[in-house]
Each structure stands twice: as C-alpha cells, then as structure tokens.
C-alpha cells in the first residue's frame, strides 16, 4: 500500500472520528466536522 500524503491522512482521521462519533451517538462531535454554514432541512 502506498504511503498517505499528510492531507489524505488528515482527511482519513476526520472520517474515522466522524464515524466513531456516530457510533457513540455523539451528535455534537459528529456535526463539528461539518461546515458551520450548513443548514439542516427535514425531508
């Protein structure tokens, strides 16, 4: 497997942290990785 670039490694860590937060049902930790300007709209 090829060595990851620093940018890719950081992005992978973010993805892992986000999924870990979902698994803990930790919504604040989950949404901290989203853009602060994001707005939720129910379906």
pLDDT confidence of residue 33:
83
Maximal C-alpha separation, the chain: 41
The pTM assigned to this predicted structure is 0.66
Residues in Cβ contact with 18 at an 8 Å cutoff, skipping those fewer than 6 apart: 30, 33
pLDDT confidence of residue 18:
92
pLDDT confidence of residue 38:
83
pLDDT confidence of residue 26:
95
Q: Would you give per-residue pLDDT tens digits along the chain (43 residues)?
A: 567 687 888 999 999 999 999 999 999 998 888 888 988 788 8
């Amino acid at each position: 497997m090829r060595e990851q670039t620093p940018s890719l490694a950081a992005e992978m860590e973010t993805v892992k942290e986000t999924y870990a937060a979902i698994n803990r049902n930790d919504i604040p930790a989950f949404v901290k990785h989203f853009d602060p300007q994001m707005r939720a709209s129910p379906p």
